[in-house]
Structure 1
Amino acid sequence: MGVLFTKLLQLFSNSEHKVIIVGLDNAGKTTILYQFLMNEVVHTSPTIGSNVEEIVCKKTRFVMWDIGGQDSLRSSWTTYYANCDFVILVVDSTDRERLHISKNELYTMLQNEDLKKSRLLVLANKQDIKGKMSAAEISEQLKLTSLKDHTWQIQACCALTGEGLSQSLEWMLTQTGR
């Protein structure tokens, strides 16, 4: 009887999940946030601090924190980790020179106790640009297959068109049990 009640409760309740969107400056984090929210491109400027929006998908609420990615702001990322269910790492697929910085930031983050149970979604953004790295290439460079303590997914996307973002939300929904 308890399992049935739990399943019914999940079916009819609005669950809420905290999501942090991180990545280096100019990766497309804010553009992705507003594509999730409004399904359109919004003119953005570099994020100082954070933006927060609630995205509702199939009765599941994702409270998404888009955190500034400039070098001087990355040390403040830890203040957003508490009770975080998902980490979205946005990677600029054309920025080969700084991919090692994204990798270092990712592995530093995942060592934090507050993120031990978080699931990881890597968005390989800017797939519309010639010369970009594929999602598979980024996955290899980030050594995602070595992540044994975190459930992860990588998704090719384009923040400007929204391509790949609905698949990202679907993956997140499946991770919540929806």
Structure 2
Amino acid sequence: MVVVFCFNTCLMYFAPWPTEHKVIIVGLDNAGKTTILYQFLMKEVVHTSPTIGSNVEEIVVKNTHFLMWDIGGQESLRASWNTYYSNTEFIILVVDSTDRERLAISKEELYRMLAHEDLRKAAVLIFANKQDMKGCMSAAEISKYLTLSAIKDHPWHIQSCCALTGEGLGQGLEWMTSRAGLR
């Protein structure tokens, strides 16, 4: 809130600061996390390399401010994800819909995060990425494998998407924006 006082008159102006919602973008390496972040930001594909540490960007959707932390997903980095959890309101889990062999690891990481005290109030958006690829799993298949219906203490939504074209990303952001209004 901004309060302005003037001499000779007592003018008060109240302007609310926009609330910023912290988001962590997680998932296994090569799932498309960084591509999604920069698709949100610039609406175009940016050449990326494996993230070591994190990237952070502010995304504004319908006057809702999201501070998005894209965190590296290599196995050696996953143990440090919890250092980003404090004050997180949204988790975006990016799943490579073609990577059937590592879906069990994604599930394990998801439930480890949901059990963490700092994320007890976080809402979860799962992006089923790479839906443009032949032989990919559908969002429904991924939801069933991750047993999302068992998650009762966190609002969640799964969204099919393609990070390269941006298809489905807007719907995921709309879900987050609607949830941010409830906080």
TM > 0.5: yes
Aligned-pair CA distance for 1:14: 1.8
Match of 1:98 in 2: 102
Q: Any runs of at least 4 consecutive aligned residues in structure 1 with deviations exceeding 4 A, and if so which?
A: none
CA displacement, residues 8-28 of structure 1 (integer Å, 9 cap, x when unaligned): x9xx75221000000000000
Structure with the greater alpha carbon radius of gyration: 2
| Structure 1 unmatched ranges of 5 or more | 1-8
Match of 2:9 in 1: none
Of 83, 87, 91, the residue aligned with 1:83 is 87
Percent of pairs with identical residues: 73
2:81, 2:33 → 1: CA distance? 14
Does residue 1:166 correspond to 2:170, yes or no? yes
1:127, 1:146 → 2: CA distance? 24
CA RMSD of aligned residues (A): 1.4
Where 1:102 maps in the other structure, the secondary structure is helix
Of 137, 151, 160, the residue aligned with 1:156 is 160
| Structure 2 unmatched ranges of 5 or more | 1-13
Aligned-pair CA distance for 1:177: 1.5
- Please identify which structure carries the higher helix content: 1
CA displacement, residues 35-89 of structure 1 (integer Å, 9 cap, x when unaligned): 0000000000000000000001111110000000000000000000000000000
Match of 1:53 in 2: 57
Match of 2:125 in 1: 121
The one-letter code of the counterpart of 1:58 is K
Where 2:22 maps in the other structure, the secondary structure is strand
Match of 1:146 in 2: 150
Match of 2:179 in 1: 175
Number of aligned residue pairs: 169
Of 131, 136, 154, the residue aligned with 1:132 is 136
